[in-house]
């Protein structure tokens, strides 16, 4: 009679292969924890690779600026040096506990078992906020874009960027000198971006800024040809000849099945954690953009710090005799 195959149990399973999850995997390796990474995307790197690989990241320690894809590459190299198991294209659907306290995770492909769990899913699944104006949907993918995968695509093009947040201004910075001309349209006269970016845009860039303006319509034939802007204060219309429109209106995030797992939520999108990054569920920690605590700031730099905190306390929970904190400078790598 055949015996059932023994289940493989990991010390920590990290759900999410973005920057916070990758650093968590690295730190778990430092602590000699048997580690697995699960990610719903087909590659590691999270938003760095999936949403803005060609954009510069300015707030990562040790890098005055670095392309998101290069930061992802380096963080992946760092994360896998201790050989964690990596399972891609797997979305975690259910969380449950075995009788012995082991955490059971069910994906659309497999079942995974772990002694502790680290949720590093970012803000969840992203979809761009879309604008409803005549012609926009017709030209999506052939003149109207919500993502930039390759900056060289905009080389020599007359580009209209729409938005007033960090993404809109970051792309203006990144694409100046690549596009032949950039116009930035914003529906008000105040920006939701870093002060340095706003100062650059208004005082040092060659970007043409159209405040109080929104897209009224777009026209073209096989490709986009013109955009009509409407000044929402004066009601004056302006028609621009453009080759491309980049819409940076934000994203709608959905944490998906996580809301059904019993974790305490702040609102509908954030997981409440304590000072050790632990949730209300036994053995379940959360880090990065998905978390809420009193000092929360959504930055890559703070997310990787939270990863180190969570992993250290998870290690201590599994092995109370282990030293709580280990510095990488003390390790032989």
Strand, coil or helix: 233: coil
Please tell me the predicted confidence (pLDDT) of residue 6. Answer: 66
- At CA 299, angle to CA 296 and CA 302, rounded to 5? 65
Task: Tell me: do 245 and 148 sit in the same domain.
Answer: yes
pLDDT along the chain (333 residues), means of 10: 65 97 97 96 90 86 92 97 96 96 96 98 80 91 89 95 93 94 97 92 96 96 94 96 94 84 92 97 96 92 96 95 71 51
pTM score, two decimals? Answer: 0.78
Which stretch of DSSP H or E encloses residue 113? strand 111-119
Task: Tell me: do 81 and 136 sit in the same domain.
Answer: no
Task: Tell me: do 241 and 258 sit in the same domain.
Answer: no
Please tell me the predicted confidence (pLDDT) of residue 2. Answer: 39
Task: Tell me: do 157 and 245 sit in the same domain.
Answer: yes
Please tell me the predicted confidence (pLDDT) of residue 4. Answer: 44
Please tell me the predicted confidence (pLDDT) of residue 18. Answer: 95
Please tell me the predicted confidence (pLDDT) of residue 27. Answer: 96
Task: Tell me: do 212 and 63 sit in the same domain.
Answer: no
Residue 1 in domain: no
Task: Tell me: do 179 and 261 sit in the same domain.
Answer: no
- Residue 318's CATH number: 3.50.50.60
Residue 4 in domain: no
Task: Tell me: do 46 and 146 sit in the same domain.
Answer: no
Please tell me the predicted confidence (pLDDT) of residue 274. Answer: 96
Task: Tell me: do 258 and 290 sit in the same domain.
Answer: yes
CB < 8 Å & 24+ apart, contacts of 95-103: 95/261, 95/262, 95/281, 95/284, 97/282, 101/282, 101/283, 102/9, 103/13, 103/283, 103/284
Task: Tell me: do 256 and 120 sit in the same domain.
Answer: yes
Domain-ending residue, one of 227, 249, 271? 249
Task: Tell me: do 35 and 91 sit in the same domain.
Answer: yes
Please tell me the predicted confidence (pLDDT) of residue 128. Answer: 81
Pull the structure tokens for residue 284. 């379940």
Please tell me the predicted confidence (pLDDT) of residue 1. Answer: 37
Number of domains present in the structure of the chain: 2
Please tell me the predicted confidence (pLDDT) of residue 327. Answer: 67
Domain housing 161: 130-249
Per-residue pLDDT tens digits for 212-240: 999 999 999 988 999 999 999 999 999 99
Task: Tell me: do 33 and 121 sit in the same domain.
Answer: yes
Strand, coil or helix: 77: helix
CA dihedral 58, 60, 66, 70 (to 10 degrees): -150
Backbone angles phi, psi at 178, to 5 degrees: -105, -55
Residue 2 in domain: no
């Amino acid at each position: 009679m055949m015996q059932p195959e023994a289940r493989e149990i990991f010390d920590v399973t990290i759900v999410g292969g973005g920057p916070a999850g990758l650093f968590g995997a690295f730190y778990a390796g430092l602590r000699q924890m048997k580690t697995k990474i699960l990610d719903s995307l087909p590659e590691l790197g999270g938003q760095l690779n999936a949403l803005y690989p060609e954009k510069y990241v300015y707030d990562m320690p040790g890098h005055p600026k670095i392309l998101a894809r290069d930061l992802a590459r380096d963080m992946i190299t760092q994360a896998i040096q201790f050989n964690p198991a990596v399972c891609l294209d797997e979305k975690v659907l259910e969380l449950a506990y075995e009788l012995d306290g082991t955490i059971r995770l069910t994906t659309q492909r497999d079942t995974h078992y772990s002694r502790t769990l680290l949720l590093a899913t970012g803000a969840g699944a992203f979809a761009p906020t879309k604008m409803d104006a005549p012609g926009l949907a017709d030209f999506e993918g052939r003149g109207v874009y919500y993502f930039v995968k390759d900056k060289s695509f905009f080389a020599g093009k007359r580009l209209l960027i729409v938005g007033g947040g960090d993404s809109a201004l970051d792309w203006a910075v990144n694409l100046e000198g690549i596009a032949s001309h950039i116009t930035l349209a914003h529906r008000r006269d105040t920006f939701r971006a870093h002060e340095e970016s706003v100062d650059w845009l208004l005082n040092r860039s060659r970007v043409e800024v159209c405040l109080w303006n929104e897209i009224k319509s777009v026209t073209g034939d096989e490709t986009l040809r013109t955009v009509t802007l409407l000044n929402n204060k004066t009601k004056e219309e302006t028609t621009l000849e453009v080759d491309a429109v980049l819409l940076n209106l934000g994203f709608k995030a959905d944490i998906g099945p996580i809301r059904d797992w019993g974790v305490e939520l702040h609102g509908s999108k954030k997981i409440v954690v304590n000072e050790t990054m632990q949730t209300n569920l036994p053995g379940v920690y959360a880090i990065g953009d998905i978390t809420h605590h009193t000092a929360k700031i959504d930055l890559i730099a703070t997310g990787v710090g939270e990863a180190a905190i969570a992993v250290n306390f998870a290690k201590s929970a599994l092995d109370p005799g282990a030293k709580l904190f280990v510095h990488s400078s003390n390790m032989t790598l």
